[in-house]
Structure 1
Amino acid sequence: MGSLGKGRSETVSYEYGSKSTDNMFRAFNALGQIAFAYAGHAVVLEIQATIPSTHEKPSKVPMWKGAICAYFINAICYFPVAFIGYWAFGRDVPDNVLQGLQKPSWLIAAANLMVVVHVIGSYQVYAMPVFDLIENNLVKTCHFRNGFPLRLIVRTSYVAFTLFIGVTFPFFGDLIGFFGGFGFAPISYILPSIIWLVIKKPKRFSLNWFMNWICIFVGAVIMLASTIGGLRNIVADSSTYKFYS
């Protein structure tokens, strides 16, 4: 809505940049950002484990419906922002579209508030496995007593550390592409397909077999390309970064 209200900039350009190599690495980084945005597979199994499941009513039925609904909502939220943002800003669209808007101020404030609400909820879901891993290691190796004081200290310290990293290093888009390829592409595209092939053992050269191997190949390409692209962009853009900007 904000990009649509702002309209197209007078200097908007949809042409490729003059450096073809830079465009290639930016495209690689974009693949990682897409993988990061649609990387809900990391918590799917934990969510499904909380759903009651019986032979008559397996948990995969409501889980499949929920996954379709979730990705549909993601699509109707992300795609209009991407298309209209590119229409308004062209190739100079910022990593955070809100930074390119100046008005209306109430819309920008409301959007930032929704981001805060979203992060407060989603952060807990994604960080729970990390919390559990750190706390279990401290209990087993350092013999800390498991309880509320330990959870309070560990979780507060972890959130404060990630907040410090997020505020200190302003290369948001490059980092998302890097971690999207390095961390989320394997667990979203490669590992699930490998596990399916090992457990289900579909007939070789069948449609199911081909689809899983295509997912593995695509995931490997995204992982390598976006990791290289993100790392290269971080190095290339480091000269223009301003800490705590």
Structure 2
Amino acid sequence: MVGAGVLSLPYAMAYLGWGPGAVVLVMSWCITLYTMWQMVELHECVPGIRFDRYYELGQYAFGPKLGLWVVLPQQLIVQVGCDIVYMVTGGKCLKKFLEIACPNFTKLRQSYWICISGSIHFFLSQLPNINSVAGVSLAAAVMSLSYSTISWVACLSRGPIANVSYAYKKSSPTNSMFRIFNALGQISFAFAGHGVILEIQATIPSTLEKPSKISMWKGSIVSYFITAICYFPTALVGYWAFGHDVEDNLLLALKSPEWLIASANLMVVIHVIGSYQVYAMPVFDMIERVLVKRFKLPPGLALRLIARTTYVALTLFIAVTFPFFGDLLGFFGGFAFAPNSFFLPCTIWLAIKKPKRFSISWMVNWTCIFMGLLIMFASTIGGFRNIIIDASTYHFYS
């Protein structure tokens, strides 16, 4: 759950302000916890059948064709979008780490750093399945908890910068509006676990006496508790320390103590390496199933090597071409994460469970759907517009 998006939360607060920013953050946490509970419950909503993939649940709710087209594209965008952003984050934080640890190190282009940090995925992608990345995932989880804690503790210890201001950034009304839209997407991106929740639950044994949802929900509660102690202090203390001058990656704004900030940046690199594989494994499985079933290619090492290497190369190319961390978070957060985390589980719940009209369940689900749609349209437009603006002054592959 705790991804690199946590580092952009103070930047989102800078455009939303104290009150609206805190409200949006708390509401996002509550809504996505509720929708995660729905996903866990729906995993075995039909006795004897386990919906091990998001699109399989969508097919049961909406029909074989409609369910596939409603769910699969959104899930793929979430997983591929995460991998692209993690490529960018890994490169930027590796660059920052070496600049602090080795100040005399030969300066390289940012594009090279993204390629260097991304190159390890060509090897890790050959691990067979999602169970095989358990150790990598555990390391990533420990690193994410560590660097998010370091980021807000470092901000708290240094105090606010000189002449800190919490006023809204001075800009044209149009630009301010789109930046606020983008901030909503950045917060949406922070809650990214729904895209792989069913695939993870599928690895848990399930019996009639002890269905998988019991263990999965306990794990989800722990996950969201840890998420809260990472997200809220980072967002609030980071904004308190830098005000509206905070950067879109909080760690890049911190300067001292140097050894601690360097360690935190290295932790981010380790984290995004592990998280990339968690989001990529379901995509690998999907690609290989299509190649075997539709194109009749023989399964095996050769297929895995070619298919997975091609995917890693594609995400690396996009990351090097568009290394806009904050704007990518806003765009993907609105375009894919809001549907997957905010309103698609509610829509599936209404289709399968069919709660009575105007009951509490019915009203809560429709409220979540409305808010999710609002965030999706606003942040997608804001993120896309900001990418265009930034790309107009950016020298590609510089």
Q: Paired residue for 2:178?
A: 25
| Deviation of the 1:94 alpha carbon | 0.6
Off by >6 Å, runs of 4+ in structure 1: none
Give the residue type in structure 2 aligned to 1:197: L
Query: Does residue 1:9 correspond to 2:161, yes or no?
Result: yes
Alpha-carbon offset, residue 141 of structure 1: 4.4
Following superposition of structure 1 onto structure 2, how do residues 1-245 of structure 1 map, counting pairs within 5 Å? 1-18=153-170, 19-244=172-397
Q: CA deviation at 1:53?
A: 1.6
Do the aligned partners of 2:199 and 2:282 also contact (CA within 8 Å) in 1? no
Quick one: structure 1 residues 120 and 62, their matched pair in 2 at CA, closer, same or farther if it must change by over 3 Å?
Answer: same
Is 157-166 or 199-208 further displaced after alignment? Answer: 157-166
What per-residue deviation string (whole Å, max 9, x for no partner) do you get for residues 15-61 of structure 1?
11232332221121111111111121111111111112222212111
Distance (whole Å) between structure 2 residues aligned to residue 242 and residue 14 of structure 1:
32
Taking structure 2 as the reference length, the TM-score comes to 0.58
SS of aligned partner of 1:228: helix
Task: Describe the SS at the equivalent of 1:160.
Answer: helix
Query: Aligned with 1:8: secondary structure?
Result: coil
Letter in structure 1 aligned against 2:327: D
Could you tell me whether the CA contact under 8 Å between 1:36 and 1:179 is conserved in 2? Answer: yes
Residue 125 (structure 1) shift: 1.6
Report the CA distance between 1:240 and its aligned residue. Answer: 3.6
Tell me which amino acid in the other structure corresponds to 1:38.
Answer: F
| Equivalent residues of 2:178, 2:385 under 8 A apart | yes
Deviations 1:64-120 (A, max 9, x none): 111111111112112212112111211121111111122222112211222122222
After TM superposition, the structure 1 stretch with the greater mean CA deviation from structure 2, 90-99 or 1-10, is: 1-10
Query: Once the two structures are aligned, what percentage of the paired residues are identical?
Result: 68
Structure 2 gap ranges (5+): 1-152
Shift of 1:211: 0.5
Tell me the TM-score normalised to structure 1 length: 0.92
Deviations 1:191-226 (A, max 9, x none): 211111111111110000101111111111111011
Any idea what SS the aligned residue of 1:62 has?
helix
